[in-house]
Amino acid sequence: MKRLLVPLAVAGLSAAALATPATAAPSWVSDPLTPKPADAYSSAYFWLDANGAALKKATEFRVDAKDVPKLVHPQTTSADGKPGMAAPTGTTGAAPKSKNVNLPKTIGKVFFLDRAGNQRWCSATSIQARNRNLVATAGHCVYEQGKDVFAKWVFVPGYYQGKAPFGVYAGAYAFTAYDLDTYDDYDGDFAFVAVHNGFELAGEKTVSKAEYDKWAGDKWAKDEPIDAATYNKCVDLHGGETPDCWAKLSTLTDVVGPSFPGKKRAFKEVAKEDFDKAPTGDGNGAQEPAKTVVDHVTQSEYEAYKGPGYRKIDGSGNFTITHYFIGYWVKESAKTDYFRTVFTLGLAKDAGRLGDVVGGQGVAWNQPMGQKVTVFGYPAAPHPDGDKPFTGLTPKICAGRTGTKTYQVNMFKVETHQVLKCSMTGGSDGAPWLLRYDNNKRTGYVNGVTSLFHDQDGNDRIDFISSAYFDGEVADVYNKANYAATKSIVGPNGELIGS
């Protein structure tokens, strides 16, 4: 992935603010996820389509490690600067006082495709930002082994049992530590992602071919069978061949020339390789220009299809079957099936800026160790002994004081992770560690995100989780992400806004 700084016009930063001395090692990097509205639209639609089927199919992302990593060599760590905080923002007043822990509206899941094309999730939260558009999660939930960013990355706040109550927010730009991106060093295992406005599906609309061609958003065309009378009426209405009514040959019979009286035009489906080899005409005018029909299908239809059509997962992750036809002039009496192509537009709705919809947690850095934090995540992976107490469908909570010293984790090049006694398992990767959590306002300060899981007593059960220590370098990355500007990806009529 070519390294990219967010464009100055987008981020709103001056060249002087971004300038780094030639001898200074950078502390942050940024990569594009889906900065273009068309790509962001496709990512969001991929997860929402078919009543959120992809969301429900996704499984928890797990760090690739043969053994549960051990915490070693505790050490006292001093902050690299003055303590700092960015205050949280909220969209509602204080909740009624409760003895139970109230879930914050800001938490949710990030979904993405890994390199193998598997649908995965991690935990995350919305955080305070000047443009109300930032998500905090683990760096390994954005960057695959510290390298390329994951595909179709989105955030779903308030995720609950396959539902996206506040819409889907497609990632535009990702910001992380230079050491994670360059060396896969988990001391920098955190990321801040600027997301576009939220996106919700708003139904569909059948339109004419002309309207279909002009539409910039999601659209699809499918063929439905009709009888001969309807076909003839359609042809008569349009004075001949139309873009939406056509005849299909089951077998290639009764082929004639274009001057034959009582002829009609019909199409025969062929395999792609035959289509590619077919000439444009046979010299007598019997063979006519080709026709292709692209069907958007569900994953199950895609996997079950055995016909001559060409199966493909397109660049937007949609499952498609392309049917190839060669046109012929045939006798009017030739046996054919008749079809009408139905052109459909997928309508969408702008859900607004993330921080305006669910609020944003604060961010804290260079804070003293040994403070109480509350962690919210979606654990799902089994413990090392195979026991699986969590489903990942609903968020879970851990609360307690972090260790007074930081630890090394040799397997992941970690020198200074903070730790918390907690039995959450994989799937809660990226879960926010909230300092000073106000149970009534449901806000606090993100002072870490779950990075790794540990079995310290050797009983094959997760008993500790760890996070990068949020120091001045984390604040530097956050401050850069804080300026990233994003926007709505759909217009007032449900159309895709131009890039």
Q: What is the pLDDT of residues 80-117, one digit of tens each?
A: 778 888 889 875 555 556 668 899 999 999 999 998 88
**Res 448: pLDDT:** 97
State the Cα–Cα distance between residues 100 and 93, nearest whole angstrom.
Answer: 18
**Res 18: pLDDT:** 35
Beta bridge partners of 137: 191
Does residue 445 surpass a pLDDT of 90? yes
Residue 490 lies in a domain: no
Mean per-residue pLDDT for 138-164? 90
* Same structural domain, 55 and 153: yes
* Same structural domain, 225 and 296: yes
Listed residues 317, 350, 383: the one ending a domain = 350
Give the residue numbers spanning the domain of 415.
8-197+353-481
| Cα 1–chain centre separation | 18
Confidence of residue 479 (pLDDT cuts 50, 70, 90): very high
Residue 12 lies in a domain: yes
Confidence of residue 313 (pLDDT cuts 50, 70, 90): confident
* Same structural domain, 271 and 324: yes
* Same structural domain, 65 and 112: yes
| Cα 154–chain centre separation | 3
**Res 204: pLDDT:** 86
Mean pLDDT check: name the lowest of 141-155, 277-291, 295-309, 313-327.
277-291
Listed residues 305, 327, 350: the one ending a domain = 350
**Res 21: pLDDT:** 42
Q: What is the pLDDT of residues 339-387, one digit of tens each?
A: 988 888 888 899 999 999 999 999 999 999 999 999 999 999 999 999 9
* Same structural domain, 360 and 283: no
Residue 108 lies in a domain: yes
**Res 350: pLDDT:** 94
* Same structural domain, 223 and 340: yes
pLDDT, the chain, mean: 85
* Same structural domain, 222 and 180: no
* Same structural domain, 319 and 390: no
Mean pLDDT check: name the lowest of 114-123, 289-298, 340-349, 482-491.
289-298
- State the CATH number of the domain containing residue 465: 2.40.10.120
* Same structural domain, 182 and 217: no
Q: What is the pLDDT of residues 316-342, one digit of tens each?
A: 566 888 889 998 889 988 999 999 888
Residue 78 lies in a domain: yes
Confidence of residue 15 (pLDDT cuts 50, 70, 90): very low
Domain count, the chain: 2
Residue 26 lies in a domain: yes
* Same structural domain, 174 and 296: no
Residue 223 lies in a domain: yes
* Same structural domain, 18 and 165: yes
Residue 226 lies in a domain: yes
Residue 494 lies in a domain: no
* Same structural domain, 89 and 107: yes
